[in-house]
A and B are shown apart, each in its own frame.
Chain A
Amino acid sequence: MNSKPKSGAAAKPAVSLPTKSRITLKVNGAVKKLEVAPWMTLLDALREHLDLTGTKKGCDHGQCGACTVLVNGRRINSCLTLAIMQDGAEVTTIEGFAEGQMLHPLQQAFIEHDAFQCGYCTPGQICSAVELISQGRAKSPDEIRELMSGNICRCGAYSNIVAAIQQVMQAQERKIDK
C-alpha cells in the first residue's frame, strides 16, 4: 500500500483521476446537457443537477421504487443506474406528465381515490403505473398488485392505488371501444 516511488520518479496515483463527463439527456421533452462525475446516479443527476426533485430517494438500493422514472419509455430504478450510462436517453419524471394545468389522468385518479397519505412514494407509483398501463398486461386487481410490487407504500395506500390505476385503465378501454 505504502510502497515508495522509485527515486527520481514523481509519485503517481495508481489510477488516473476520474474526470467529469459531458452527457446529454432528453428530460421531459427538453434537451439537457450536464457534466457528471462517473459515480453520479441518474437519480442524483435529476434531483441535484436538474432540480427535478419530484423523483424521490427512498432506500437508494432499488428496493422501494420511490426513484422510479421512465427511460426510453420503460420504468427503471433511477438509483441503480449511473447518469453517464444513460447518455442520450429520453427520461420522463413525474414533472413531465401534466400538460400545463391539466393533470395526467393517473395524477387526477390518485387525488380522486386518495391514493396516498404522505405522498413520498407517489411519483414512483405514478411513473410505474404509466408503463403498467401502456403495456396492457395487467387486467385484474391481482395482476395490478403483482406488476406494481416494485413500489412500496409505507402508509399502506395500496387498495386506493389499485383503484386509481383501475379507473384509468377502464377509462382508456372505454376510449378504445368508442
Chain B
Amino acid sequence: MNRFTHTWAGDVASAISEIAGDGTAKFIAGGTNLIDLMKENVERPNRLIDISRLALNRIDSAAGGGLRLGALARNSDVAYHEAVEQRYPLLSKAILAGASPQLRNMATVGGNLMQRTRCCYFYDTATPCNKRKPGTGCSAITGFNRAHAILGTSEHCIATHPSDMCVVLAALEAVVRVTGPSGDRSINFADFHRLPGDTPNIDTKLRAEEIITGIDLPAKGFPKHYSYLKVRDRASYAFALVSVAAALEMDGHTITEARLALGGVAHKPWRDPQAESLLHGQSASRDNFVRAAEALLQDAKGYGHNSFKVELAKLTIVRALSQAAFGEGES
C-alpha cells in the first residue's frame, strides 16, 4: 500500500469541498473494495477522506410510498431491514447472494455502486488494461476472459460490473441521489453506470466532486412475483457468471409488467426494455420466456472462454422468469 493521509469528513458539505480541492483524494466508507485495490497498488490515493461517520445510514420511508436507503447503510442492514424484506424481497435476496456476512457488515450502499470490476487484468498491474491505465490496451479480449462481458462491450474493454445489488436496483428503477458543489441532483439508475466505449476508465456518471447520499426505491417493489437467480462457480461467496433479476406483475396467468436485469454480462447492470415489452400482456409460458431471452441476447458476443455465457444467460432468464411467475424467488 502507498503512503497516504486519513481525515474525517465532518459533514457532506465539507466532504465535497475537500474532495473538490484534491484530485488525489478518495472517499472511503466500508473500504472493502478500495483497501483491497490499494493493497494491489491499483488504487494509490494520497489521501483518504473518511465519510463513514456521516449521518447517511438511515433507511426511511420516502415520498410517494417508496423507501430511501442512506448511502452509508450497510449491506446487511439493508438486506435484513423489515421494509426491504417485505416490500422489496428481490433486493434483499440479491444483497444476500453477494459477498459474505463479514463483507456485508462492512460494505455500504454507496460503495456497492462505486466498486470496481473484478477483471483479473484490471487487478494485475503487470498487464495492460485500459480501465486501469488508459491507452495500454485490453488484456482480456484475447486473454482468459471466462468471467467477462458479452453485451455492450467495446474493443477497449470487456470488464463486467460485479454487483448483485445493482442488478436489482436497475430492475426496480431506483434513483441515485448525489450532492455536489452546485447542489443536489438525481440520476436514474439506468444512467448511473456507463458502458466502456473508448473511456473504460470511467465507470459511472458521478462527477469527481460529487458524493452519493442515498438511493430512492420507487413504491413498486414486485413483492409477489420475483426471482434473483445467480449462477456461479460455487454455491456461495462467488461473483456471478450470470445473474438475473426478474420482477413481474401478473393478472392471473397474464403478465402485465415485466422487468429483467442481468448481472455478470456487461459493464453495467443490463436492461433491455424492448425484450421486456415482449412479455407484456402475454401469458406466463416457457415459449414466451424463451422469446424474451432470445431477444435480450440477440446482440451478445462471446470472446472465447466466456462464449458459454450467451446460452447460459438465456437459460437463466427462462428459469428466473419461471420462478418469478410460479414459485419462490431464489438466489
Chain A residues engaging chain B, CB cutoff 8 angstroms: 14-18, 21, 37-39, 41, 60-62, 65, 68, 74-77, 80-82, 84-85, 128, 131-132, 137, 145-151
Contacts and interface: CB of A to CB of B under 8 A. Distances in A.
Interface in B28-48: 28, 31-32, 35-36, 38-39, 46-48
Given A62-B102, A62-B103, 14 more contacts: A15-B47, A21-B6, A39-B3, A65-B100, A77-B32, A77-B102, A77-B103, A77-B106, A82-B35, A85-B6, A85-B52, A128-B101, A137-B80, A150-B99
Report the 7 A-B pairs with minimum CB-CB distance, sorted nearest first: A150-B100, A149-B236, A38-B6, A149-B237, A15-B46, A74-B105, A150-B102
Given A62-B102, A80-B32, A85 B50 contact: yes
A18 B3 contact: yes
Interface of B: 1-6, 24, 28, 31-32, 35-36, 38-39, 46-48, 50, 52, 76, 80, 99-103, 105-106, 236-237
A132 B101 contact: yes
Given A15-B46, A81-B35, A150-B237, A38 B4 contact: yes
A76 to B, nearest CB: 5
Contacts of B76: 74
Given A38-B5, A80-B36, A147 B101 contact: yes
B48 A150 contact: no
Contacts of B31: 80-82, 85
Nearest to B29: A85
A75 B104 CA distance: 9
A122 to B, nearest CB: 16
B28 A85 contact: yes
A131 B35 CA distance: 24
Given A38-B6, A41-B35, A62-B32, A131 B101 contact: yes
A152 B39 CA distance: 21
A76 B101 CA distance: 8
A39 B4 contact: yes
Given A76-B106, A145-B236, A150-B100, A16 B39 contact: no
Given A74-B105, A80-B106, A85-B50, A15 B5 contact: yes
Contacts of A149: 100-101, 236-237
Given A15-B24, A39-B1, A146-B236, A65 B102 contact: yes
Given A39-B3, A85-B28, A62 B101 contact: no
B122 to A, nearest CB: 14
Contacts of B99: 150
A84 B101 CA distance: 22
Contacts of B237: 149-150
25 contacts: A15-B47, A16-B5, A18-B4, A18-B6, A21-B6, A38-B4, A38-B5, A61-B39, A62-B102, A75-B105, A76-B102, A76-B106, A77-B32, A77-B103, A80-B31, A80-B103, A85-B28, A85-B31, A128-B102, A131-B101, A137-B80, A147-B101, A148-B101, A149-B101, A149-B237
